[in-house]
């Protein structure tokens, strides 16, 4: 069982929910963590058991980052919206930096998420 973080920007939440629906059986075998709004949407659509953190702008991105630093996250699936400015862009960059620095499996779209899921 791997520990997987799930987060998506607002316009990418439907894509992450759809991806989770497609991969529900594999994800159900993992320990899942998600930022609040993203996790609630995934749970409603899939019935997956997810530990909900704060909403991204309210500290959920930072909570996922702390989990990475503490070695408590094996993979991060973060569907990012590259075309929309984010008011909490500093948090997004910090989370991306930590995933890179700590060599955590990291996906930003469906293609890379499929590869990460295959690796765990």
Any idea which residues carry the catalytic annotation?
61
* Residue among 52, 66, 57 nearest 92 (CA): 57
For the chain, how are helix, strand and coil distributed in percent, rounded to 5? 55, 20, 30
Determine whether 111 is exposed, middle or buried from the number of CB atoms within 10 Å of its CB (0-12, 13-18, 19+). Answer: exposed
Cβ-contact 81, 9 below 8 angstroms = yes
* Residue among 43, 41, 31, 23 nearest 5 (CA): 31
């Amino acid at each position: 069982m791997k520990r997987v973080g799930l987060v998506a920007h607002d316009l990418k939440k439907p894509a992450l929910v759809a991806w989770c629906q497609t991969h529900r059986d594999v994800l159900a075998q993992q320990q899942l963590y998600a930022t609040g709004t993203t996790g609630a949407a995934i749970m409603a659509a899939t019935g997956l058991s997810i530990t909900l953190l704060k909403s991204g702008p309210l500290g959920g991105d930072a909570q996922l980052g702390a989990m990475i630093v503490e070695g408590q996250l094996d993979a991060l699936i973060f569907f990012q919206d590259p075309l929309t400015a984010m008011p909490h862009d500093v948090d997004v960059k910090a989370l991306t930096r930590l995933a890179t620095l700590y060599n955590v499996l990291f996906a930003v779209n469906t293609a890379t998420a499929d590869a990460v899921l295959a690796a765990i």
